[in-house]
Amino acid sequence: MRADVFIDRIEGDGVEISVVKHGLSSGAAHRYDTLENARAALVKLRFDPELVDRQLRNLSKVPPSFLLRFPEAEIADEVLQSLDFTAAVFQAT
């Protein structure tokens, strides 16, 4: 599935990752309690580890709820399901 992926800071060291089917305005979000857990999920979504590290560093410099966007990506449904991104929007084709 073509998807847009965004991250934003939540309380503490937490990160929320949002995955939106390309062309839609909403999708699924999942919260991670630590940067390390968020990093692992982003790498599993097949983003380059250097890009992930750069975006996570940038995230620490912006106010909470500021969305940082990753490049549009093709993400396999199995990968989304393994990370609990199972919103109904992903079921529709």
Rg over CA atoms, the chain: 12
Prediction pTM value: 0.88
Q: What are the pLDDT tens digits along the chain (93 aa)?
A: 899 999 999 877 799 999 998 888 788 899 999 999 999 999 999 999 999 999 999 998 988 889 999 999 999 988 998 998 876 445 544
Task: For residue 28, list its beta bridge partners.
Answer: 19
Sign of CA dihedral 47, 67, 62, 17: negative
Pairing of strands 73-74, 15-21: unpaired
Q: Where along the chain do its domains lie?
A: 2-91
CA atoms within 13 A on the CB side of 14: 11
